[in-house]
Structure 1
């Protein structure tokens, strides 16, 4: 029996519906249930062929458990190793490399220094930074947001440099990024499941949370069809490059061009009361089918994680050409037998002559570390 587990926190509607949907399909030798953890022993396999992760971003204990389970063959969705390293600024850079439009974005140092650091820790950071160039590149108005955050937390709209300095005071040790504002005519949120199934949903991020999916697409006719096809293509490109099996991507449409705004949501909202009944039904069905497919292909004791092409292609390029395989007859082994020492042999200590210590001259000048300042400050 292969088990599919779902690991979750406060959400109720999606996990229960997912379990019921998988079990209702009657797949021979496959069942779904809520994950139960009673002990976590290093290198011990879990009892699950597949685990759908909905909560480890908030619970480090769960993240460590999932990595341990993956090591012994559990197909964890999404890959906990990549998710631990992923962040929004890198995603934007990767999107540019694969040809998906994104807002102009720059990285900002944190307002407060990280714990256990000093000004000396930032001696490589120019002071002041090239603020004029940064502002000319991004433009105003702009959005300032955490470089690895989510859920619209600590997001600020800033209208000029002074406004940015003022709001940056509130960000503490968060590393922020400053991002071009996209004035959009259409906005979409897209589920991507299994790197092949895409659901494109009109979305209005300016509405209250429970009304954000109560939106309609404005582009129509041939223009609308072309737009949707491009959005699907971009959604698949991003998720294949990042290696996510369960994710959402958000696009703001400006002048007919979909611009990827947010595409690091590996535990996206799937509650029936926010996404709506029809969207909820699609997500439950697609997730159940994907999990069953992964359970069937899962090989116990092997790595069953999904890696994005950014990682997998890099590994292929770095891999050396395989060495020729020799048969047992072709392998020659030379055995060396150590000679026995004679009884009369003496082991003499080796004498090492130490150099005399150098006496510093009066002309020697002391070197002084360059001054550094980690505070974000205007020039």
Structure 2
């Protein structure tokens, strides 16, 4: 029996629905459950053919455990080695090389020295930095955010350089990005599963969290959807993520990739809505079963992106194989997501017509 496990934290709806969906499919020799760890022995398997990781970014013990599982043959979704190496500044640089539009972005050293360092640790860093060159490149207003963070933590909107000095002082030992603001006409959040299944959702990040999929905008054009699909596939093909989201802000008809390092993306029904939730549960379950069928013990069963694969093969970065044909769907919201938590009204049965 091949077991598929899910490792998760505080989320509620997705993990149970994922496990239930796999077990409902009743694939011969495959079952799903919540991962359970009672001890972690070096080089010893955990007993899972596939593990879907939803929490190791916040729990270092889990990240190390997943690497140990991977070396014994578990297919971990997403690759814990790449996830440990990845961060937003590198992702932006990769997007530039791939020709995917991204906001102008610079990396800033931390305001305070990291622990166990002194001024002598930074003798290769110019003082002061070329702030005028940085400001001319990025422009204002701008956003400042951690180079490896997520979940909208420690994100600042910066009005001008005086505002930057005040807010930069609050960041302490965080390494930050300063990024051009894209004043957008439209915004999209896209799931990508297995590097081939894409769900495009119009989105309004300025709304309260539970209302962000209630955008009230006209449907996007086919040309825009095709361009977004191409960029989603290209980014995930090169990054090697099995389960990720990509966000785009559209300015003057150009979709800029704003955030595409989300290997444990929000999938709660209360925020994404029932239709999108159904898509992500069904697609993730089917993909996990696909990976379980392909998994072989004592072998590397991880996904490695084209960035790593081309590097190992000594090939040019942009000469890799084309992205696979996508299975793309577009999410629609025709009602308030908040209504989904309320009991549905019973429709009265039609009155019987008396026979004459």
Do they fold alike, i.e. is TM over 0.5?
A: yes
1:307 match = 304
The root-mean-square deviation of aligned C-alpha atoms, in Å, is: 0.9
Distance across 1 between alignment mates of 2:65 and 2:109: 32
TM-score (norm 1): 0.82
Unaligned segments of structure 2, at least 5 residues? 316-356
Post-superposition Cα deviations, 1:8-29, rounded to whole Å, max 9, x if no partner, equal 1111110000001001111110
**Separation in 2, partners of 1:116, 1:26:** 54
4+ residue runs over 3 A deviation: 216-220
Counterpart CA distance in 2 for 1:216 and 1:100 is 27
Partners of 1:87 and 1:148 within 8 A in 2: yes
Q: Is the 8 A contact 1:187 1:204 kept in 2?
A: yes
Q: CA deviation at 1:219?
A: 5.7
Q: Does 2:131 align with 1:119?
A: no
User: 1-side partners of 2:163 and 2:262: how far apart?
Assistant: 29
1:206 and 2:203 correspond: no
Quick one: structure 1 residues 94 and 296, their matched pair in 2 at CA, closer, same or farther if it must change by over 3 Å? same
Q: Deviations over 1:254-304 (max 9, x none)?
A: 011100000000000000000000000000000001000000000110000
TM-score between both structures, scaled by the size of structure 2: 0.87
After TM superposition, list the pairs within 5 Å mapping 1:213-362 onto structure 2.
Answer: 213-218=213-218, 220=220, 224-317=221-314
Would the aligned equivalents of 1:202 and 1:213 in 2 still touch at CA under 8 Å? Answer: yes
CA drift of 1:216 comes to 3.8
Larger radius of gyration: 1
Higher helix share: 2
- The answer to whether the Cα contact below 8 Å between 1:248 and 1:264 also exists between their aligned partners in 2 is yes
Distance between the aligned counterparts of 1:35 and 1:219, measured in 2? 40
Report the Cα distance in structure 2 between the residues aligned to 1:110 and 1:26, rounded to whole angstroms: 51
Supply the distance in 2 between the matched residues of 1:187 and 1:218 (Cα, whole angstroms). 12
Partner of residue 324, structure 2: none
2:28: which partner in 1? 28
Q: Contact 1:101 / 1:259 at 8 angstroms: preserved in 2?
A: yes
Point out where structure 1 has 5 or more consecutive residues left out of the alignment. Answer: 319-379
